[in-house]
Amino acid sequence: MSGTKPLVEISMGIEAFASEWLHCDRISSYLARMVSHNRTDSLLYANLLSSALNELLETAFAHHGPEGNFSCRVSRLGDSDVIELDLPCDDMTLAFYRDAAQRLTQPDLAGIYHSALFSPGKPDPHLGLLEVAVDYRARIAIVAEKGNRLKLAAELTLEGAAA
């Protein structure tokens, strides 16, 4: 996104990332703490950012292409922080994220999210993205890129929410 200042980026092979569930928690906790130190309330901000980032990472953990590089970058845009996940994708992954992008434009997103949150049976695979869009009021952009790549960007303005 234009005007953003990159703060920190973690990059690894998608196989390595998806080999261990704890990576989602570890990466989200570490990156959130790193970028929150100069926010008004660093602990509160880190807690919120980690929660949102973890949902995005858990989504990417479950839905990604078979091989290639995976990166997670956090950039600053004034009071906002932008999380960008760059991951390999195949046709199935692309369809999953296209469906998600389409759902995120629906009216009454909060209603859709709460229905998904309390639905019986298997969890809605878009639940994490819906939560980040509703509870954290993130602007989410999903863009397919050349070479079977996909970029998921979430712009979060947590500074006001954390004060």
Backbone angles phi, psi at 111, to 5 degrees: -60, -40
Q: Does 123 bind another protein (CB under 8 A)?
A: yes
d(CA 4, CA 91): 30
| Candidate list 117, 139, 144, 148; residue touching another protein; CB under 8 A | 117
54 binds another protein (CB under 8 A): yes
Cα(163)–Cα(147) distance, integer angstroms: 42
- DSSP code for 158: -
Only segment of 5-13, 101-109, 110-118, 144-152 that touches another protein (CB under 8 A): 110-118
| Binding residue for another protein, selected from 34, 51, 76, 101, defined by CB under 8 A | 51
N-terminal to C-terminal alpha carbon distance within the chain: 25
Piece of 42-50, 66-74, 82-90, 96-104 that binds another protein (CB under 8 A)? 42-50
Is the Cβ–Cβ distance between 107 and 115 less than 8 Å?
A: no
CA atoms within 13 A on the CB side of 147: 7
Among 2, 38, 108, 147, binds another protein (CB under 8 A): 38
Residue 100 in contact with another protein, rule: CB under 8 A: no
Residue nearer to another protein on the CB measure, 137 or 149: 137
To another protein, the closest distance from the beta carbon of 88 in angstroms equals 21
In the bound complex, what is the minimum distance in angstroms from residue 147's beta carbon to another protein?
29
Q: How far, in Å, CA of 32 to CA of 30, rounded?
A: 6
Nearest-10 Cα torsion for 14, 20, 23, 26: -160
Binding site for another protein (CB under 8 A): 20-22, 24-25, 29, 37-38, 40-44, 47-48, 50-51, 54-55, 58, 114, 117-118, 120, 123, 127-128, 131, 135, 161-162
